[in-house]
Amino acid sequence: MEEHYDPADILAQKVDKLAAMVQESRHLVAFTGAGISTTAGIPDFRGPDGKWTREAQGKKALVGVQAVKAFPTPTHMSLVDLHKRGKLKYVISQNCDGIHRRSGLPASAISELHGNCNVEICEDCGQQYFRDFRCDRIKPKACDHFTGRFCKCNGRLLNSTIDFGQGLPERPFERAREHSSKADLHLALGSSLTVSPANHMPSRTVKSGGKLIICNLQKTPLTSMAEFQIFAKTDVVMEMLMERLSYSVPPFRLVRRVILGITAEELYAKAVDVHDPTVEVYHICAVDWDGKGVPEQALRDPMIAAAQGGAHRRAVAGIKLQNLRPCLHFVGHYNEPPLQLAADLSGSEGSTSPKVLDLLLTFDPYERTWKSTCQELEFASVVVDDAKIPDYGPSHHEYCVTKVMQARGCSLKDAEKVVNDRMIEGMKAIGHSP
């Protein structure tokens, strides 16, 4: 599809108008597509060198940066800042690259309609887990999305990316519809707006009386519905917009949250979700508690070590709780060096309420330096229920049953049995009792 670029004076006029609309907006929603990640090194789909474009020409798709190593773009970071300021109410995305979440946007603020390659969802309770590695299913070509890991409720964890022909989970779609209907301004960034039903969200805003602005180099099926379209790269537009709003585009910082605590017999360190400390995530591959080093395997294959999950533990016996110096080793997609902490868990011995430290760790990937802040964790933290997708398990089961019926030409009852038998066999194969 042909790309267009606005002349500098026209571009400036359009961004001036957009800035005024953003300032006046009471419910701004952003809709993002693959175009916002191209400057992070991830190819788009329908651009001149996009995946679908090249395949249609008989060419191989370009190999870009691994998504887990990609740096959020100025567009990503502008959206994070606008959300923190309360100006941006919600993000709806077609992207599966995980960059929105890594940039600092909480799960409760985004509907990732096509899933996220770094997110697992519990089949039973719908809890999301944002990982530091690709959440691939055990059988890559099978319809069953099971990754081999389990939720704290013991439900199977499922890869969250949506297959062609698989229905979208209702909860993210419902929240996208709700915010699109409320929006007085919908900003579509880097999307061809051709994929249904995701592209119904911006048009929903227009039909509800709101305004649509499109920023994309190619014309879209919704261009005629928009107040105007900006033909420029999204990073250029967002940097200009933030300047007109008198905001700065924040630099990317990798934020990790670690809980350091003690039981009657063990010390433990576990990585948790930045926005919800009740949800464990797997960002740490090893912990050196006493300066004696960590297993070579953990350093040689940090993603595999991290993916094995769980808290990192060490017996309390023989270690001084007042002068703890645990050294955390991370997966290291951004070349994070190990971080040695200074902590005091003394006074916990024999206590009915042992001390638990809540560590917020911030990594500057440009200077390769860590900063940490610490507080005593209050476990009365509110669980972010908006981040759960309770219908994902049932919709995934329905998809698997349908695929078996199509492949075997069997009845619903027989297909249900096949899917359930496969699920039990898969769990037994990894030593987990159904």
For residue 310, give the DSSP letter: S
Strand bridging mode 254-262 / 266-273: antiparallel
382-399 pLDDT, tens digit per residue, is 455 678 999 999 999 999
More confident residue, 432 or 394: 394
Nearest in space to 356 (alpha carbons), one of 224, 259, 215? 259
CA distance 108 to 114: 16
pLDDT confidence band for 320 (50 / 70 / 90): confident
pLDDT confidence band for 139 (50 / 70 / 90): confident
What pLDDT is recorded for position 352? 62
Mean pLDDT of the chain: 90
Q: Which residues contact 199 (CB under 8 A, 6 or more apart)?
A: 191, 193, 221, 222
pLDDT confidence band for 2 (50 / 70 / 90): confident
CA distance 199 to 206: 12
Taking residues 212-222, report their average pLDDT: 97
CA distance 115 to 134: 12
Percent pLDDT > 90 in the chain is 70
325-372 pLDDT, tens digit per residue, is 999 999 999 999 999 999 888 876 656 677 889 999 999 999 999 999
Q: Which residues contact 169 (CB under 8 A, 6 or more apart)?
A: 121, 389, 391, 392, 395
For residue 426, give the DSSP letter: H
Taking residues 157-162, report their average pLDDT: 95
Q: Is the peptide bond before 202 cis (omega within 30 degrees of 0)?
A: no
What pLDDT is recorded for position 113? 95
Taking residues 310-328, report their average pLDDT: 90
CA distance 112 to 119: 10
CA distance 61 to 47: 12
CA distance 278 to 107: 14
* pLDDT of residue 277 exceeding 90: no
What pLDDT is recorded for position 141? 81
Catalytic residues: 114
Query: How far is residue 117 from each of residues 63, 114, 160, 195, measured CA to CA in Å?
Result: 17, 10, 7, 19
Q: Which residue is listed with tokens 């033909």?
A: 231
* pLDDT of residue 380 exceeding 60: no
What pLDDT is recorded for position 381? 46
Q: Using an 8 Å Cβ cutoff, are 126 and 406 in contact?
A: no
Report the greatest alpha carbon distance in the chain. 71
423-428: long-range contacts at Cβ-Cβ below 8 A with a sequence spacing of 24 or more? 423/144, 423/146, 423/156, 426/138, 426/144, 426/146, 427/156
What pLDDT is recorded for position 382? 46
Taking residues 307-312, report their average pLDDT: 85
Q: Tokens for 287, please give them.
A: 């912990």
74-84 and 234-244 helices cross at what angle (nearest 10)?
40
Q: Tokens for 79, please give them.
A: 């959206």
Nearest in space to 431 (alpha carbons), one of 308, 300, 313? 308
What pLDDT is recorded for position 46? 52
What pLDDT is recorded for position 54? 44
For residue 35, give the DSSP letter: G
What pLDDT is recorded for position 203? 97
Q: Tokens for 132, please give them.
A: 């530091």
More confident residue, 53 or 111: 111
Nearest in space to 8 (alpha carbons), one of 237, 307, 248, 340? 237
DSSP codes joined into one string, 64-113: ---GGGPPPPHHHHHHHHHHHTTSEEEEEE---SSHHHHHT--GGGEEET
pLDDT confidence band for 97 (50 / 70 / 90): very high
pLDDT confidence band for 111 (50 / 70 / 90): very high
CA distance 47 to 64: 14
What pLDDT is recorded for position 44? 56
pTM: 0.90
* pLDDT of residue 297 exceeding 80: yes
Taking residues 257-286, report their average pLDDT: 91
Percent pLDDT > 70 in the chain is 91
